[in-house]
């Protein structure tokens, strides 16, 4: 891959991925509600999901998504249902937590599944790669090494963006000390999470 092509790809991805969407909304809502310590399985799944969409686009396998359309629909609606469930838990979460005490965490497997469902259930990601990549590279001539370079570039951009969002949400969480503030934060997080579910369902 030419360096110029990778830089163009990175810049476009930075703008697209940095804009708040269902995945970012779910991520921020989770961090504000529960903290950042248990959010990394969710992040890992999001990054793997993005790599899957990128790979489908690079190797011209969008037809696979068409062929297995109903499987992707199932993943999408399972993701929507789980996000709605998380929104309900946030809305009804107790606010009388002791200092240093956090609500019971979901398992790493559940968080990983949620992150994968949010990412794979969002066809906008696939459309982004399908629309962008042909404009900067010849997909017919991409080698395995070129795919690795694109994937690493994607990973670096997403790690920087997502960790920045986690840091911002974590700092906002530190400001929430009173019961009233915690209740408002839970309700805002629940509404944001529900909005993420609705955004995915509408696509």
pLDDT (mean) for 143-172: 87
Average pLDDT, the chain: 74
Say which residues have a Cβ less than 8 Å from residue 47's Cβ, sequence separation at least 6.
155, 158, 159, 162
> How far apart are the two ends of the chain, measured CA to CA in Å?
33
* 41, pLDDT greater than 80: yes
* 71-75-81 Cα angle (round to 5): 140
pLDDT band for position 159 (cuts 50, 70, 90): very high
pLDDT (mean) for 167-171: 79
Residue 93 has a pLDDT of: 66
pLDDT band for position 72 (cuts 50, 70, 90): low
In angstroms, the CA 6 to CA 191 distance is 37
Task: Give whole-number Cα distances, 168 to 33, 51, 90, 122, 186, in Å.
Answer: 13, 25, 19, 24, 17
Say which residues have a Cβ less than 8 Å from residue 147's Cβ, sequence separation at least 6.
55, 58, 59
pLDDT in tens, 88-133: 876 776 655 444 333 345 678 888 888 888 788 777 777 777 767 7
pLDDT (mean) for 82-93: 73
Of residues 144 and 21, more confidence is placed in: 144
Residue 196 has a pLDDT of: 63
Return the top range by mean pLDDT from 31-45, 53-67, 179-193. 31-45
pLDDT in tens, 177-188: 456 655 666 676
Domains of the chain: which residue ranges? 3-12+21-93+104-202
pTM comes to 0.66
């Amino acid at each position: 891959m030419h360096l110029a092509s990778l830089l163009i790809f990175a810049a476009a991805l930075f703008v697209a991925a940095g804009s708040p969407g269902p995945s970012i909304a779910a991520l921020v809502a989770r961090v504000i509600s529960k903290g950042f310590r248990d959010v990394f399985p969710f992040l890992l799944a999001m990054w793997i999901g993005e790599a899957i969409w990128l790979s489908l686009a690079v190797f011209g396998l969008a037809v696979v998504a068409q062929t297995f359309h109903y499987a992707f629909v199932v993943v999408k609606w399972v993701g929507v249902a789980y996000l709605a469930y998380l929104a309900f838990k946030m809305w009804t979460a107790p606010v009388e937590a002791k200092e240093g005490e956090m609500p019971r965490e979901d398992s790493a497997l559940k968080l990983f599944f949620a992150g994968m469902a949010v990412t794979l259930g969002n066809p906008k990601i696939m459309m982004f790669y399908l629309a962008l990549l042909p404009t900067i590279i010849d997909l017919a001539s991409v080698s395995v090494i070129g795919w690795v370079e694109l994937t690493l570039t994607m990973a670096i951009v997403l790690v920087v963006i997502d960790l920045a969002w986690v840091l911002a949400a974590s700092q906002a969480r530190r400001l929430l000390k009173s019961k009233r503030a915690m209740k408002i934060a839970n309700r805002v997080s629940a509404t944001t999470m529900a909005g993420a579910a609705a955004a995915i369902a509408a696509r």
